[in-house]
Amino acid sequence: MRQIICLSTSHLSAATRRFLSVTPHTQWPTIGGPFGGSGWIFHVDEDAEANFGNRRFKELWRAFAYAAENGYDLILFDDIEEPIAGLPVF
């Protein structure tokens, strides 16, 4: 059974949110896709930062690490979720 964590889009920087909004998901640095018009969903890849070597999305990699450390397989970033302690807010 897969576990999903819902996180606020406020845990992503404006630059990352803009990138995810205007770039086709097939060009994202990891597996994911849009979630309607309110956010994005990702497979948690705790090794993404090392695999892709892209520091541009460091808050996304931090969210992956947080999810993996807490036993989650998927992240849904949604604009109606409240921010949580333990992750930066932008």
CA nearest neighbour of 75 among 33, 32, 42, 36: 42
Q: Is the distance from CB of 89 to CB of 82 less than 8 angstroms? A: no
Predicted confidence (pLDDT) per residue in 58-77, tens digit: 899 899 989 998 999 999 99
Q: H or E element: which one contains 62?
A: helix 58-69
Q: Number of C-alpha atoms within 13 angstroms, CB side, residue 16?
A: 22
How does pLDDT run across 11-20, given as a tens digit for each residue? Answer: 999 999 999 9
- CB distance 74 to 5 below 8 Å: yes
Rounded to two decimals, the pTM is 0.87
